[in-house]
Amino acid sequence: MIPQVAELPWFVALPVALLLLAGAGLTLIGSIGLLRLRSFYERVHAPTLATSYGMGCILVASMLFFSVLQTRLVLHEVAIGLFILLTTPVTLMLVARAALHRDRLERNAAVPPTIDRRAA
Amino acid sequence: MRRLLPHPLVSAALLALWLLLNQTLAPGPALVGIVVALLGGRAYDRLEQGRPRLRRPGIALRLAGLVLVDVARSNLAVARLILNRRQDPPAGFIRIPLALRDPRALAVLAAILTATPGSAWVEFDAEEGWLLLHVLDLGEEGEWVRLVKDRYEQPLLEIFA
Amino acid sequence: MTATLLGWALLLAQLMIGGAMLCASWRVLRGPRAQDRVVGLDALYVNAMLLLVTFGIRSGTQVYFEAALLIGLLGFVGTAALAKFLMRGEVIE
């Protein structure tokens, strides 16, 4: 750690520490879910734990830490947050649709079929 | 004005992102940022036909707050489901009929549902408006239908009316 | 006092994220199917990005921020391309 950290007041250091632990904990639980959940469609849910509040807590901790350390507003972590927030749903949706497509090609029974159009 | 700034929101967001990444408000980078924002707005105009209008910003803000709270709640719920070693989560697929047709509104709804742990947008049938959703905690099916229809779809219908 | 508190919190957080990366890597290696590996790889990217942010806090420099942003960008492009590949069997048609 850099020496200036010792001058941080405790009412900044404590929230930073707690936010870091909370964010890392959520990330870890999400990845454990990736291991533990049994079907692919269940596992798609697991990474969103890390990309929502897991990431949020860690980025807020970083913003708080650098803003106090450098006594100016450091906000560029918001850019990472916004970016991940926008891209995660897109990637997960793409992968889920690809998986559905593949499962249907193989006639996997665990997957709901395409809707039959009664009108047709 | 319309020719110069066809998408004020897109341009403003680009400028904000530029300044954020440069971490400065100095006139030089700000000027470059303004140029980038103007060009970006025009490029977006070429890509996208039609003009998205943010009507009812109040409802949009309320929806954002609602999503923030819901995501926090489902974070805890999913964490509990994952850490519960004794039983596997009661997961399953649900079909929900949607009244939304605006592609932008559908994109927002898809992003909300997928970003929320515990629900994932899998497929959408554009002709009849069926949404195939996979949820981690199936519970009562009507509960999920009500959540999507009343809590998210209704405000989106008003915003993108 | 604050330095030790933050030091321990950072160490624990980094260990947890490291564990998360191990879990994700296991999913990438084990599969069983290609889509499982892609989801694992996506999670691995996000975890690596968060680990870099914590390294930034530890070292007190903002160099790591740029690396984290880059990983986020490349992770998105990579996963999107892989998903497209799963769907069609080719990336560029």
**Are residue B89 and residue B116 in the same domain, yes or no?**
yes
B52 lies in some domain: no
pLDDT digits (tens, 9 = 90+) for C1-54: 788 888 888 999 999 999 999 999 999 998 788 888 999 999 999 999 999 999
B26 lies in some domain: yes
A30 lies in some domain: yes
**Are residue B101 and residue B146 in the same domain, yes or no?**
yes
Nearest CA distance, A99 vs chain C (angstrom): 6
pLDDT digits (tens, 9 = 90+) for B26-74: 888 888 888 888 888 888 877 766 666 667 778 888 888 988 898 888 8
**Are residue B34 and residue B95 in the same domain, yes or no?**
no
Q: Which of A92-96, A103-107, C16-20 has the weakest average pLDDT?
A: A103-107
Residue in chain B nearest A54 by alpha carbon: B75
Confidence band of C91 (pLDDT split at 50, 70, 90): low
Instruction: Name the DSSP class of A7.
Output: G
Report the top-level CATH class of C2-88. mainly alpha
A115 lies in some domain: no
**Are residue B23 and residue B64 in the same domain, yes or no?**
no
**Are residue B134 and residue B79 in the same domain, yes or no?**
yes
B3 lies in some domain: no
Question: B131 pairs with which residues across the strands?
Answer: B96, B124
Q: What is the pLDDT of residue C49?
A: 92
Nearest CA distance, A35 vs chain B (angstrom): 10
Domain boundaries of chain C, sorted by first residue: 2-88
Yes or no, beta carbons of A93 and B119 under 8 Å apart: no
Count of domains for chain A: 1
CA–CA distance, B75 with B89 (Å, rounded to integer): 14
Backbone angles phi, psi at C44, to 5 degrees: -60, -45
B129 lies in some domain: yes
Question: What residues 13-42 of chain A have any CB closer than 8 A to a CB of chain C?
Answer: 13-14, 16-18, 20-21, 23-25, 27-28, 30-32, 34-35, 40
**Are residue B73 and residue B107 in the same domain, yes or no?**
yes
The length of chain A, given as a count of residues = 120
Question: What residues 72-91 of chain A have any CB closer than 8 A to a CB of chain C?
Answer: 74, 76-77, 79-80, 83-84, 87-88, 90-91
List subunits contacting chain C, requiring 3 or more Cβ pairs under 8 Å: A
**Are residue B100 and residue B132 in the same domain, yes or no?**
yes
Cβ pair C17, A24 in contact under 8 A:
yes
In this complex, which of A38, A44, A52 lies closest to B120 when CB atoms are compared?
A44
Q: Which domain holds residue B41?
A: 8-47
Q: Which domain holds residue A42?
A: 9-105
Whether A67 and chain B come into contact, CB under 8 Å, resolves to no
Nearest CA distance, A18 vs chain B (angstrom): 16
Closest by alpha carbon to A110, among A99, A95, A94, A120?
A99
Give the ranges where B24-102 is alpha helix by DSSP (H).
27-47, 57-83
CA A83 to each of CA A109, B30, B54, C93: distance values in angstroms, whole numbers, following the listed order: 36, 21, 21, 27
B1 lies in some domain: no
What are the structure tokens assigned to C57, written together? 């806090």
pLDDT digits (tens, 9 = 90+) for B98-122: 888 878 888 888 888 888 888 888 8
Size of interface A-C (CB pairs under 8 A): 185
Q: State ipTM.
A: 0.86
Count of domains for chain B: 2
Backbone angles phi, psi at B89, to 5 degrees: -65, 140
pLDDT digits (tens, 9 = 90+) for A65-79: 888 888 888 888 888
Question: What residues 22-41 of chain A have any CB closer than 8 A to a CB of chain B?
Answer: 26, 29-30, 32-33, 36-39, 41
Yes or no, beta carbons of A61 and C57 under 8 Å apart: yes
